[in-house]
Structure 1
Amino acid sequence: MLKLAQEQILLNQTAASKEEAIALLAERLTQAGLVEAGYVAGMLAREAQHATYLGSGIAIPHGTTETRHLVKQTGVMVAQFPAGIEWDQGQVAYVAIGIAAKSDEHLGILRQLTHVLGDEQAALALKDAKDAATIIDILTGASAPAEVQFLTLADFPADDADQLLLGAAARAKSAGWGGAEMVTALMASQPRALGQGIWLASARAQLSGWVLATPSHAIRHQDAQVKALLLLCGKDESHLTQLDNLAALAAAGQLDALAGSEGLALLQNGPAKGLADTFTIINPHGLHARPGAMLVKVAKEYGADIRVANLDGSGEAVSAKSLMKVIGLGVKCGHRLEFRAEGADAEAALRGIGEAIKAGLGEGAH
């Protein structure tokens, strides 16, 4: 979780160029004891390799892998430039977040930042913020609505549906979605059969989330098979998208696929469409800005709608043509990415993406 203090926020700054802005951030990172003085060279070298502008008025300058030894401690500095800086041709940054990371920790920082900054309204609020507290609230997500969370409980040793429900309820409680009263309400309820061995239980909760629970061996409930139990903990209406996905899966006759290894992805994304292929990321430091930008560049060469999900992450599918969304997947070395393409050149798109990933996405094959 990204933590920020007011001394990390530089309000109402001015810079004649992005190089000047980067130098300012590097100086403050050095003064804070996060990096050695030479780290600025790595930040400028990274920028020369590929601009770190993310979109929505946000840039995230950071060092190269060759200058990580100059990082003493992972951290960030945030500079606000209300007048804007031309970061790349036609791209104006109003907020620059200088990142110092000792290892792959920066992927977690990037994931949280890009997730928050994907909101255009949040970006405008950052530009117009008059105090550090407002910027901290936006960047840490304190001012953003809570998102639907997703958990799995695979191969749970349950002898009946009640035990499976209790296990799912305990998983939700341990995640902080609700307390003992939520568990009590769930155990007093009756799961509903959705069809094809999939059952649904729900209760009001403090946070919205889903638990996908599967039993370790065959069990039955009300003379019907239980392949998987979906537990919905609802605080508001943020779960409606997943209910729509369940309806679409039922209409497509794919509900039973929820009990498989891709069940969580189907719950989040709905029925599979188009062609699909899975590739493993070989970049030692995962999809940071440079290889992420290369992946997006390749995806944009094709007219097909291309979505990508990190099978070793949340499983949520996002547009492969959005750098902000791709970096937000938090992809590390060895993670498996599932690409799904729909359109006339879908097959060519998957082939091109696979070749680019195999070649190292601009960093060379390892």
Structure 2
Amino acid sequence: MFQLEVQAIHTGASAQNKEEAIRQVAAALTAAGNVAEGYVNGMLAREQQTTTFLGNGIAIPHGTTDTRDLVLKTGVQVFQFPQGVAWGDGQTAYVAIGIAAKSDEHLALLRQLTHVLSDDSIAEQLKTASAEDLRALLMGEKQAAEFKFDTSLIAVDVAASDLMTLQALNAGRLQAAGAVDAGFVASVVSNAPLSLGQGIWLSDSAIGNLNSAVAVSRAATPFDHAGENVALLVTVAASDDRPLEVLGYLSSLLHANKAERLLKADAAGILALLTSEVDEQADMLTAEYTIRNEHGLHARPGTALVSVIKQFNSDITVTNLDGSGKPANGRSLMKVVALGVKKGHRLRFTASGEDAQQALNAIEEAINSGLGEGVA
């Protein structure tokens, strides 16, 4: 994991415009021995090619491949602009992370930083944090334990003919994820779940909750329990209020008599239904494409993909089927890069709107053409 030194963080900076901010960052990289004179020209050129604004007030100015020979050693310099700097397209950057990379070492760093910065609450803190706190935030040292709910905690087509099987499976997965202890498992298995109707059941425990998480198991064939239909069990571990959002989406589906959607979707689809607004209209289309870029979706191809998506009016989400399975807003570069997409990963695009099919066609063409990079 990349280690960020406090000496590389500059708080309370100010700049009249983006170019001035980039020049400050470049000067710091030069002074730190990361780059030679002239690297700033590559940083400015990169900004002309495509914006380095990620979202949530974060920009990552860096050079072009033509100036890579000016990089002496890989490193970063972080500048905090409490008053903000206009970064184009109505976006304001409060933190600029200048990157110098000799080859592709920065890709792991970029994934690490974007994973941390994808938390909106942390991005807000970055504006005024001290250098020590800023470092801790960027390194993830001050993050609350991650809310755990991804496709690894969702089981479909479970060979079960009783609730005990589903209860034990969910509790076991939560324990393996470090979200609950043995007391939780014993409590859940020994207490009957609550029927929510439409084949959906809910279980939890007042004891043994170590971290907030959700597990879901769906029977391959629905069965009866005490005269009620059983198709799917949701088990919740709650150490704070973060599971409430998932329960809110579940409640909305039940209220609209749409729980059947949970019984037909695959694991990624269930995750999307319980973590985001998924269009229910007939014009919702999905498509899956494989990323062939050698280094996956880092900033440059990620920007190209987001740029294509922004050309259309449809709502589009992106899900890394070989990652967490969580859907991300296709219009947010930060969210897309934070998916951690590597070469060979399969992405599911869900589009809803009047130009949904055109959008998916354009996305397919862009991916096949390499998203601005050569692909085999």
The TM tier, using the shorter chain, reads 0.7 to 0.9
SS of 1:127 mapped into structure 2: coil
Deviates more, 1:239-248 or 1:191-200: 191-200
- Say if 2:181 is the partner of 1:179: yes
CA 1:92–1:245 in structure 2 vs 1: closer, same or farther (change >3 Å)? closer
CA 1:231–1:262 in structure 2 vs 1: closer, same or farther (change >3 Å)? same
Q: Report matched runs for 1:209-288 at 5 Å.
A: 209-213=213-217, 222=225, 228-250=232-254, 251-252=257-258, 253-257=260-264, 262-269=269-276, 271=278, 273=280, 274-288=284-298
Alpha-carbon offset, residue 315 of structure 1 = 2.4
Alpha-carbon offset, residue 26 of structure 1 = 2.5
- Say if 2:365 is the partner of 1:355: yes
Q: Report matched runs for 1:56-135 at 5 Å.
A: 56-63=56-63, 67=68, 76-82=76-82, 84-88=84-88, 91-99=91-99, 100=101, 102=105, 104-116=107-119, 118-119=120-121, 122-129=122-129, 131-135=130-134
SS of 1:93 mapped into structure 2: strand
Gaps of at least 5 residues in structure 1 are none
Alpha-carbon offset, residue 348 of structure 1 = 1.7
Alpha-carbon offset, residue 287 of structure 1 = 1.8
Alpha-carbon offset, residue 132 of structure 1 = 1.5
CA 1:4–1:187 in structure 2 vs 1: closer, same or farther (change >3 Å)? farther
CA distance in 2, matches of 1:96, 1:202: 43
Deviations 1:69-110 (A, max 9, x none): 96866x643222345545447554332113455164135224
CA distance in 2, matches of 1:65, 1:285: 14
> Given residue 361 of structure 2, which amino acid in structure 1 is its aligned partner?
R
> Given residue 264 of structure 2, which amino acid in structure 1 is its aligned partner?
A
Alpha-carbon offset, residue 22 of structure 1 = 3.4
Gaps of at least 5 residues in structure 2 are none
Counterpart of 2:335? 325
| 1:25–1:78 Cα contact (<8 Å) kept | no
Deviations 1:44-79 (A, max 9, x none): 554343221224432112455684996866x64322
Alpha-carbon offset, residue 355 of structure 1 = 1.7
- Say if 2:202 is the partner of 1:200: yes
Percent identity over the alignment is 40
Deviates more, 1:304-313 or 1:38-47: 38-47
SS of 1:17 mapped into structure 2: helix
CA 1:93–1:241 in structure 2 vs 1: closer, same or farther (change >3 Å)? closer
> Given residue 93 of structure 1, which amino acid in structure 2 is its aligned partner?
A
| 1:104–1:286 Cα contact (<8 Å) kept | no
CA 1:45–1:312 in structure 2 vs 1: closer, same or farther (change >3 Å)? farther
CA 1:14–1:249 in structure 2 vs 1: closer, same or farther (change >3 Å)? closer
CA 1:161–1:135 in structure 2 vs 1: closer, same or farther (change >3 Å)? same
CA 1:8–1:307 in structure 2 vs 1: closer, same or farther (change >3 Å)? same
CA distance in 2, matches of 1:260, 1:97: 36
CA distance in 2, matches of 1:81, 1:214: 49
User: TM-score, normalization: structure 2?
Assistant: 0.77
> Given residue 249 of structure 2, which amino acid in structure 1 is its aligned partner?
N
Deviations 1:137-165 (A, max 9, x none): 44345556655321426477878543443
> Given residue 132 of structure 2, which amino acid in structure 1 is its aligned partner?
A
User: How many residues align structurally?
Assistant: 356
CA distance in 1, matches of 2:95, 2:216: 39
Alpha-carbon offset, residue 209 of structure 1 = 0.9
Counterpart of 2:138? 139
CA 1:359–1:177 in structure 2 vs 1: closer, same or farther (change >3 Å)? same
SS of 2:297 mapped into structure 1: coil
> Given residue 330 of structure 1, which amino acid in structure 2 is its aligned partner?
G
Aligned pair partner of 1:344 in 333, 336, 354? 354
CA distance in 2, matches of 1:146, 1:314: 16
- Say if 2:326 is the partner of 1:316: yes
Deviations 1:322-355 (A, max 9, x none): 2222223222222222222222222222222222
CA distance in 2, matches of 1:19, 1:260: 43
Deviates more, 1:141-150 or 1:63-72: 63-72
RMSD: 3.7
